[in-house]
Amino acid sequence: MEADDGDLLARMEQNLAERACHLHRELAGATVIRADDLVIADSGLDDDTFNIVAAARFTPRTAGRRIAETVTMLEATGRTFAWWVGPTSTPADLAARLAGAGLSASESESAMWARIGEPPTHPGPADLDIDLVATPEALADFAAVLAFIPSARSLVWSPSLRLRPGDCAAHHGAGHSAAREPTICCTVRTKSASWSRVSSRLSAM
C-alpha cells in the first residue's frame, strides 16, 4: 500500500458495511440500523453471512456501553450475527473488548484493492464473458451459483428484490465460459472506489 492512498482502509471498511446491508433495504423482514458509530444489517435469517455488525466507531469511553447494548439487542433476536472488526474500527482494542464480552473470533480475511483503470496483469480467459445481471432470468442464474457457496446455503432469493440497475447500490455480474462452470461477482456502488472484506470476524452465538 502506498503512502498516497490516504484513507483507503477506512473507505474499504465503509464499503464492507454497505455491502452487508445493500440488499436488506429491499427485502421484507430485513432491517438496517445505521447509527453514527455502528452499522447493523439484520436479514431476518438465522445466518451470520447476512447478519453483520460493522464499521464500529466507538470511543474508549463509550465502547463498553455500546458493546453491551449491541450484544444484548442481538441476543434478543435469537439469531446469529457476525461482528466484523476492520483496520479502522475503534477503539484500537475493539477485538479484545468483544472477546471480553463473550464473543469469539471465528475467521479473518485479507483485504484486496486495485486502482480503477489499470489493466489486470493476468487477463482472464479469452472466452469468458461477464455481463451485468439485468433480467429475472439472469438473476436466477446468479442465485443458482450463489446456492453452491456453503456460507450462503440459507439464502432464499426473494422476488421482492427488484432489478433496478439505475438506482440500486449493487451491480451483480454473471460470467459464462464454455470450458468452465458459471461464475458470479457482486460490486457495491458507494462514494468510495472499491470494497473488500477486511480484518477479523467475531460471531455472537
User: Is the residue at 84 inside a domain?
Assistant: yes
Q: What is the pLDDT of residues 140-153, one digit of tens each?
A: 777 777 666 555 54
Indicate if 42 and 98 belong to the same structural domain.
Answer: yes
Indicate if 11 and 78 belong to the same structural domain.
Answer: yes
* Contact between residue 54 and residue 17 where contact means Cβ atoms under 8 Å apart: yes
Indicate if 99 and 200 belong to the same structural domain.
Answer: yes
Indicate if 86 and 170 belong to the same structural domain.
Answer: no
User: Is the residue at 123 inside a domain?
Assistant: no
Indicate if 105 and 179 belong to the same structural domain.
Answer: no
* Contact between residue 53 and residue 24 where contact means Cβ atoms under 8 Å apart: no
Burial 91-108 (b: 16+ CB within 10 A, else e): eeebbebbeebebeeeee
Question: Which of these, 145, 142, 124, lies nearest to 133 by C-alpha position?
Answer: 142
Indicate if 99 and 144 belong to the same structural domain.
Answer: no
Indicate if 106 and 15 belong to the same structural domain.
Answer: yes
Strand pairing category for 129-132 and 104-109? unpaired
CA distance 26 to 59: 32
Compute the 3-state secondary structure of the chain and give helix, strand, coil in percent, each to the nearest 5: 25, 25, 45
Q: What is the pLDDT of residues 17-28, one digit of tens each?
A: 888 887 787 788
User: Is the residue at 48 inside a domain?
Assistant: yes
User: Is the residue at 124 inside a domain?
Assistant: no
What is the tally of structural domains in the chain?
A: 2
Indicate if 68 and 39 belong to the same structural domain.
Answer: yes
Beta bridge partners of 67: none
Indicate if 24 and 92 belong to the same structural domain.
Answer: yes
Question: Which of these, 127, 71, 124, lies nearest to 98 by C-alpha position?
Answer: 71
Average pLDDT over the chain reads: 75
Indicate if 146 and 46 belong to the same structural domain.
Answer: no
Confidence of residue 128 (pLDDT cuts 50, 70, 90): confident
pLDDT of residue 35: 95
Q: Answer with the residue of higher pLDDT: 168 or 44.
A: 44
**Residue 119, number of CB atoms within 10 A of its CB:** 5
Question: Which of these, 152, 116, 177, lies nearest to 23 by C-alpha position?
Answer: 152
Q: In terms of residue numbers, what domain contains 99? A: 3-114+194-204
User: Is the residue at 121 inside a domain?
Assistant: no
Confidence of residue 134 (pLDDT cuts 50, 70, 90): confident
User: Is the residue at 136 inside a domain?
Assistant: yes
Q: What is the pLDDT of residues 71-106, one digit of tens each?
A: 999 999 999 999 999 989 999 999 999 999 999 998
Q: Is the dihedral of CA 63, 69, 70, 72 positive or negative?
A: positive
Indicate if 27 and 42 belong to the same structural domain.
Answer: yes
pLDDT of residue 142: 72
Helix (H, G, I), strand (E, B) or coil at 84: strand
User: Is the residue at 120 inside a domain?
Assistant: no
CA distance 84 to 202: 6
Q: Answer with the residue of higher pLDDT: 56 or 11.
A: 56
Confidence of residue 9 (pLDDT cuts 50, 70, 90): confident
Question: Which of these, 85, 144, 138, lies nearest to 109 by C-alpha position?
Answer: 85
Cell numbers at 164, concatenated: 433496478
Position 190 pLDDT exceeds 50: no
Confidence of residue 114 (pLDDT cuts 50, 70, 90): confident
Helix (H, G, I), strand (E, B) or coil at 182: strand
Cell numbers at 86, concatenated: 476492520
Indicate if 95 and 137 belong to the same structural domain.
Answer: no
